[in-house]
């Protein structure tokens, strides 16, 4: 069974693989596997609806021995309002602003252009790997092949903002009404729009575009935390908040 087939089967059955079972020697080979898995998802009725950007801070890059961010394709199956832990392997939680693309983003667009072409929503991203004991033990190529360990994304009402509005803002994560984590947008390549610009340029190399209708989970304000049952809220200065519930049933 190929790496593509093994990863898709692990995803579809929620039966994680042993770490190291996939022999993927380079980042480009890993992206080839990711594209193959996405093709199988689409052949089975899922629709590409967006991307997530990972390793946007020096801390997370160091954790996985990377000198650049990563991206992963996400389908309609990943967009949630409520999350059931039983649908996942080892889900984590990150505070992320979500960009909704209204006009095609070009590689040459600067950050101000990107802010004009997108709306921004308060969001949260749930990384989850299709490997046993995946965090923080997964290799860089395993992460890329697995769609940058995308699990789910939740986001609230999007609005238009200019560059300054999200330049250095605080995000606060609440669980059951208690603040449990804070982070800042500067952790996301200095500014979340810079992460989106990176994604547009990287996708262009692979012959892909950031087209209207897609979302981008732009990068985390915080190192990932374990996801637990209960109610969550993420509040962002200038952007607002999003609430969601995590169940196990």
In this predicted model, what pLDDT tens digit does every residue of 149-167 receive, in sequence order?
999 999 999 999 999 999 9
Q: Is the model's pLDDT at 64 over the cut of 90?
A: no
% of the chain surpassing 70 pLDDT: 100
CATH at residue 81: 3.90.850.10
Supply 103's token pair.
Answer: 């006009």
The boundaries of the domain holding residue 29 are 3-247
**Chain segment 71-110, per-residue pLDDT in tens:** 999 999 999 999 999 999 999 999 999 999 999 999 999 9
CA atoms in the 13 A half-sphere facing the CB of 210: 32
What value does the mean pLDDT take over residues 99-127?
Answer: 97
Whole-number pLDDT of residue 228 = 97
The average confidence (pLDDT) of the chain is: 96
Distance CA 26, CA 129 (A): 19
**What one-character-per-residue DSSP string does 169-205 give?**
-EEEEEETTEEEEEEEGGGTTTSHHHHHHHHHHHHHH
How many domains is the chain partitioned into structurally?
1
Which residues have CB under 8 Å from 116's CB, separation 6+? 103, 160
**Chain segment 207-238, per-residue pLDDT in tens:** 999 999 999 999 999 999 999 999 999 999 99
**Contact call for residues 243 and 179 (beta carbons, < 8 A):** no
**Contact call for residues 173 and 180 (beta carbons, < 8 A):** yes
% of the chain surpassing 90 pLDDT: 92
- Residue 65: pLDDT band (50, 70, 90) is confident
């Amino acid at each position: 069974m190929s790496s593509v087939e093994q990863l898709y089967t692990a995803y579809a059955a929620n039966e994680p693989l042993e770490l190291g079972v996939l022999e993927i020697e380079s980042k480009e080979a890993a992206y080839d596997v990711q594209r193959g898995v996405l093709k199988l998802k689409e052949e089975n009725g899922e629709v590409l609806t967006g991307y997530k950007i990972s390793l946007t801070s020096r801390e997370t890059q160091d954790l996985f021995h990377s000198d650049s961010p990563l991206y992963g394709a996400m389908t309609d199956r990943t967009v949630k309002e409520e999350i059931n832990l039983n649908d996942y392997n080892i889900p984590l939680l990150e505070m992320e602003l979500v960009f909704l693309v209204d006009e095609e983003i070009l590689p040459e667009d600067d950050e101000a252009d990107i802010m004009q072409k997108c709306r921004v929503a308060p969001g949260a991203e749930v990384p989850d790997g299709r490997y046993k004991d995946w965090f923080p033990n997964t290799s860089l190529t395993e992460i890329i092949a697995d769609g940058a360990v995308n699990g789910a994304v939740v986001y609230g009402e999007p609005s238009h903002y200019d560059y300054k509005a999200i330049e250095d803002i605080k995000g606060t994560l609440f669980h059951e009404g208690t603040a449990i984590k804070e982070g800042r947008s500067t952790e996301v390549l200095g500014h979340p729009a810079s992460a989106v610009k990176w994604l547009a340029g990287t996708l262009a190399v692979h012959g892909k575009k950031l087209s209207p209708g897609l979302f981008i989970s732009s990068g985390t304000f915080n190192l990932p935390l374990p996801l637990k049952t209960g109610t969550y809220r993420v509040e962002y200065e200038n952007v607002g908040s999003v609430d969601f519930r995590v169940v196990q049933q």
